[in-house]
Structure 1
Amino acid sequence: MSADTLDLSRLRRFPDIEAPNLVAVDASDRLILDEAADAVASAAPGTVVVINDHYGALTLGAIGLHGASDVRVHVDMLTGERALDTNAEDSGLAGTYRHLSLVPELVDGARVVLVQLPRGLDALEEIAQLIAAHAHPDVVVIAGGRVKHMSRGMNDVLGRSFSSVTATLGRQKSRALVATGPTASDAVYPKKVVDDERGLWIVAHGAAFAGPQVDVGSRYLLTFLDTMGPTASTAIDLGCGTGVLATELASARPDLTVTAIDASDAAVRSTTATLEANHLAGRVAVVREDGLGERAAGSADLIVCNPPFHVGATLAPDAALRMIRGAARVLTDGGELWTVFNSRLAHAGALRRMVGPTEIMGDNGTFTVTRTVRPARKAAR
C-alpha cells in the first residue's frame, strides 16, 4: 500500500485486540473524512489536527486522501497510537504526522480539527475547551461517531465552547457535528475532587475512567488493602486509571516500591496529578505501557487490578484475559494478584487456569474480589 493508493479497508487494529466483531475503520471515519475533504485540502501545512483517532483512519485519510501535511495527532490509547504507526508504515506515510498529548501545543493555531467523538461527555468537553482556547479563531471542528453512541448532550457540550454547532445528514448509522466560532469558557480540566470517605484527592482528565471519584469496584477492592501481599516489596497497579489504587498502596506502605501502568495518556497524566495532589510525587513510577509486556518476568510481588471488560462499547473479555496472562508472567513465585470484577464474569476460572490457586475474598453481589497466588516455577532442566 502506498500514499497514492491508500485503501482504508486494509488498516488493522494490531497491536490492539483483533476479532471479527471489532473493526479498524468504521462508517464514521469515512463520513468525517468526506465532510472535511475541502477544508483539509485547502489547509496550510501544520494546521490540521486529529484527535481521538482510533487506529489511524482519520490521520492517514487526511494525509493520503486529502493532502494534509505535518498533521498533529492525539490518540489516548497507546494501542491505538501504535496501530496508527504500524498502518502508516505499511501505507508509506510514516513521518507525516506528530503525536502529542492533549495539551495546548496540540491545537495551537489549528484551522481544521477532526475528532472521533469520545463516549464520555467529560472527555469531549476537555477537547472542546482546549480547541476553543488555543486554535485559530476560524477553526472548523468536524466531530463524528456512530449514531447509537451519540447524544444530545454532545451538541450541548460543543455549544458551550463554540457559537455554532450543526449536524450533518446521517449516513450508514453515523453522523458528524460541525463546530465553528470558538468562544471563551472557564477551563475546568483536569478536575480535582476530594473523596471524604478515604481522605484522598483525585485528579482526572476528561477521558480518565470513572472521573474524579473512586469507582465502586476499586472502592470495594480497597477494603482488602490491609491484607494484600503483606511481605511484598514491589507492587504494580495495572490499569491505574486515576491512580487511586497506586496512591493508597504508596500511602499505606511507605516501604513498598509501586509502579502504576496504563495504556491511556489521560490515565497516566491523571495518576501523576493524583499523586502530586496527595503529596506522593516521586513515590510511584507512572508509565504508559500496553499491559505488562514491557515488565520483566518475576519482577513484582504484588499486582492489583480492576480490569476492563469492554473495548469501547463492545464486550471484550480478552482485554482482561491479556492482563491476567501478563500478571502470571510478571509475578514472583508466591506473588499475589488481587482483582475486582463484575460478579457475572467468569474471571475466577481464568485466574486459576492462567495464574494459580485463586480464593474469592469477597462478593457483595455486584463485584467479586479475588486473591491469586503465583505458584513456584518449575526449575529448568
Structure 2
Amino acid sequence: MQEHQDTAARGSARDRAGDQRSGAAVRAQGERLPRTGEAERRGVRRGGARDRAGVAEAARFARYALSVPSAESQLALANASRIAGGRVLVVGFDTDVARALSPATVFYQSWRAYRSSADVDDVHFGPWFLSEQPYDMALVEMPKETERLRMALSMARASLVAGGRLVLIGRNDAGIKSAGRHLSEMTVFTDEIVGRALEVHSFPGVFAHGRIDEGTRRLLALLQVDSGARALDVGCGNGVIGGWLRKGGVSCDSCDVDALAVEAASRTAASAFASDVYSDVAGTYDVIVTNPPFHAGVRTTSAVAIRMIEGAPAHLESGGEMWLVANRFLDYLTPLREAFARVDVVHEDNKFRVYRTRR
C-alpha cells in the first residue's frame, strides 16, 4: 500500500512539474498556441486521428490558452496607467485590457469577442464605431491583415477630438513601423458571375476585398439550387454567394462572425446577420452553401470549416444539401463523410474541389 502511495506521489509531482514547464513555455511563447491548427490539418488528412490529435492537444493547452493574453494585450496592460485618463476608445484586445481601462468604451468587429465580454460595461459590436461624443484617445490592437488595419486607423482617427491621441499596438514583425501610411475605404464594383450581374460591396479586411474569389466562381458555376428554395450562406464574407442566389430567385440568408462582413453582405445580398458559425442560426434550410475560411490571421487552420461541416445537418431539412468549395490541399472528405449520408466531389482541378453532400 505504501509503495502505491509513493508511486502516486511521485507521479503527481512529475505531473505538476510537467504542467509548470508547459505553462512556462506557453507563457513565454504565446505564439506557439496556434500550432493546434497543425494538428487540425493533420487530422483532416488522417481521418480518425483528427479526433485523437485534436483532443490531446486541446487538453494540453486549453487551461493556458484562455489565461494568456496576446503580446499586444500584455503591452497594453503594462502601460495601462499611462493610457488611462479622459475618454478612451479601445479597439480589439483581450477583455482584460477593457477591464483594466474601465470605464473605457470597447469596440469589437468579432461577434465571438463581443459575446465573451458580457461583463464589460460599455462594449459595442459592429462594422465600424460611430459616436456623437469624440474621444481623447483611441487604443487600437493592430490587425494582422493590412486592409483591415487601414480601416481601423481611419475609423479610430475619425473618433478623436482635435489633437487626440491614436495609439496603435502591434508586433515589429507585423509591420507596425510603417503602419501609419495605411488608409482605405469601402469598394463597390459590379461583376458578372455565371450569367448574373452582381453589385458587390466590399470592405478592407474582408475576404477577397475588391474582387470575386476564384473558388467562389468555381462553386457558383456548378451550384444547383431550385428557385424558391431556402438557403444559408455561412461564413458569407462580402455576401457574393447569397447575392448571386437571390438573383436566381432563391431565398438566402447570409451570416458571418465578422461585423464588416455582415455589413458588406447586407448591402450585397440584402439579408445578413452576425453568427459564430451556427451560434445564432435559427430554423432549417434546404441548402447550406459555403466557401469556408482556412486562415486565422497568418495561420492555416481547418477548424472553422470542420465546425461548419459538423453543425450543418442540424440546420438542414431532411434530404437537404450542403455545397462547399475548398482549396485542393484541404481534404474535407473525412469530416463530410462522418456528417452526411452522401458525399460527392462534383469538381476537382489542380487548385479546388467542390463538394455536394446530402443529409
CA offsets 1:268-318 (integer angstroms, 9 cap, x no match): 10111223xxxxx4xxx3111111233346x11100011112222333322
Distance 1:346 1:122 in 2: 29
Spell out the pairing of 1:338-353 with structure 2 (5 A cutoff).
338-353=323-338
Indicate the SS of the match to 1:60.
helix
Structure 1 residue corresponding to 2:290, chosen from 285, 295, 305: 305
Alpha-carbon distance change, 294 to 109 in structure 1, aligned in 2, over 3 angstroms: closer
Higher mean C-alpha deviation, range 194-203 or range 306-315? 194-203
In the alignment, what sits opposite 1:26? 70
In the alignment, what sits opposite 1:379? none
Structure 2 residue corresponding to 1:203, chosen from 201, 204, 208: 201
Distance 1:367 1:120 in 2: 24
Contact 1:193/1:202 (<8 A) preserved: yes
Which amino acid is the alignment partner of residue 295 of structure 1?
A: V
TM-score by length of structure 2 reads 0.76
In the alignment, what sits opposite 2:256? 262
Contact 1:240/1:271 (<8 A) preserved: yes
Structure 2 residue corresponding to 1:271, chosen from 265, 268, 288: 265
CA offsets 1:154-191 (integer angstroms, 9 cap, x no match): 2321xx6xxxxxxxxxxxxxxxxxxxxxxxxxxx5222
The alignment's C-alpha RMSD in Å is: 2.6
Contact 1:217/1:341 (<8 A) preserved: yes
Contact 1:268/1:288 (<8 A) preserved: yes
The structure with the greater share of residues assigned to helix is 2
In the alignment, what sits opposite 1:49? 89
Distance 2:282 2:155 in 1: 38
Higher mean C-alpha deviation, range 140-149 or range 257-266? 140-149
Contact 1:237/1:246 (<8 A) preserved: yes
Distance 2:128 2:301 in 1: 30
Structure 1 residue corresponding to 2:275, chosen from 286, 289, 297: 289
Spell out the pairing of 1:5-84 with structure 2 (5 A cutoff).
19=58, 20=61, 25-35=69-79, 37-40=81-84, 43-44=85-86, 47-53=87-93, 55-63=94-102, 69=103, 71-84=104-117
Distance 1:145 1:35 in 2: 14
Distance 2:231 2:145 in 1: 30
Indicate the SS of the match to 2:162.
coil
Distance 1:246 1:153 in 2: 37
- How far off is 1:140 after superposition? 1.5
CA offsets 1:174-224 (integer angstroms, 9 cap, x no match): xxxxxxxxxxxxxx5222122256632211222322212111221211111
| Structure of greater relative contact order (alpha carbons < 8 Å, 6+ residues apart) | 2
Which amino acid is the alignment partner of residue 75 of structure 2?
A: L
Structure 1 outlier segments of 4+, above 4 Å = 21-24
Aligned residues between the structures: 299
TM-score by length of structure 1 reads 0.71
Indicate the SS of the match to 2:312.
helix
Contact 2:202/2:264 (<8 A) preserved: yes
Identity across matched positions, percent: 25
CA offsets 1:315-340 (integer angstroms, 9 cap, x no match): 33221111111112111111110001
Alpha-carbon distance change, 231 to 196 in structure 1, aligned in 2, over 3 angstroms: closer
Distance 1:36 1:205 in 2: 31
Alpha-carbon distance change, 274 to 232 in structure 1, aligned in 2, over 3 angstroms: closer
In the alignment, what sits opposite 1:193? 189
In the alignment, what sits opposite 2:342? 357
- How far off is 1:231 after superposition? 7.2
Contact 1:310/1:319 (<8 A) preserved: no
Contact 1:355/1:373 (<8 A) preserved: yes
Contact 2:110/2:125 (<8 A) preserved: no
- How far off is 1:151 after superposition? 5.6
Contact 1:104/1:130 (<8 A) preserved: yes
Indicate the SS of the match to 2:307.
helix
Larger radius of gyration: 2
CA offsets 1:231-286 (integer angstroms, 9 cap, x no match): 7721000111000000000001x2x22111111111110111223xxxxx4xxx31
Distance 2:328 2:176 in 1: 29
Structure 1 residue corresponding to 2:153, chosen from 128, 133, 152: 128
Higher mean C-alpha deviation, range 192-201 or range 307-316? 192-201
Which amino acid is the alignment partner of residue 361 of structure 1?
A: V
In the alignment, what sits opposite 1:118? 143
CA offsets 1:50-95 (integer angstroms, 9 cap, x no match): 1123x423312322xxxxx1x222211111111222xx3xxxxx42
Distance 1:246 1:373 in 2: 20
Spell out the pairing of 1:317-332 with structure 2 (5 A cutoff).
317-332=302-317
Indicate the SS of the match to 2:336.
helix
Contact 2:109/2:125 (<8 A) preserved: no
Alpha-carbon distance change, 120 to 131 in structure 1, aligned in 2, over 3 angstroms: same
Indicate the SS of the match to 2:138.
strand
